[in-house]
Amino acid sequence: MADPGDSSGASGASWLEKLKSYVRTQKGMILSAEIVVSLIVLICYAASMYGGYSAVAICEMIFAIVFFIIFMMELDKQFVLVNWMWTDLFRAGIGAVLYLITSLICVIGGAGDGARIAGGVFGLIAGLIFAYDTYTLFLQVRSTRQHTAASTEDRV
């Protein structure tokens, strides 16, 4: 007879296999980098004298984790009501803009606060990662729009 504990172990193993295989994809690496750099920025901002800048890092890290789980578990294929590509494009674009603005403010005005400057520098790196994610998503959106915009006229 099968043990009830074995079935949960098998689903845990499949979840771990999905995680390992998704992290090896380009989108998985980008989302993983966004999560890790956002965590570093959060730690730096939390250690600085001005902890108010950590809100951007918290929000963007949570959004990246949510999208990582959605794409890893292939929930985007089950919930087709939401256009996940456009949603991810807006998430990454807004994240890039917010990180670049707050990081420039922290780097320029962070004299005497090393943690704030370090958070600003890592925030600039995070802004570049989010901008790269936006660029790759924009290319995907553009390529799918070109494929679906075929003419329906019958010309010979």
Residue 18 lies in a domain: no
Residue 58 lies in a domain: yes
Q: What is the pTM of this model?
A: 0.83
99 HSE (CA, 13 A, CB side): 31
Residue 3 lies in a domain: no
The closest of 75, 73, 57, 64 to 31, measured between CA atoms, is: 64
pLDDT digits (tens, 9 = 90+) for 125-139: 999 999 999 999 999
Residue 124 lies in a domain: yes
pLDDT above 70 covers what percent of the chain? Answer: 85
Count of domains for the chain: 1
Residue 12 lies in a domain: no
Helices and strands in the chain: count of H runs, count of E runs: 5, 0
Residue 14 lies in a domain: no
Cβ contacts of 117 within 8 Å, gap of 6 or more:
106, 107, 110
Residues 104, 120: contact at Cβ < 8 Å? yes
Residue 29 lies in a domain: yes
CB atoms within 10 A of CB 16: 10
Residue 19 lies in a domain: no
pLDDT at 149: 52
In terms of residue numbers, what domain contains 141? Answer: 25-145
pLDDT digits (tens, 9 = 90+) for 16-54: 888 889 999 999 999 999 999 999 999 999 999 887 889
pLDDT band at 2 (very low <50, low <70, confident <90, very high): very low
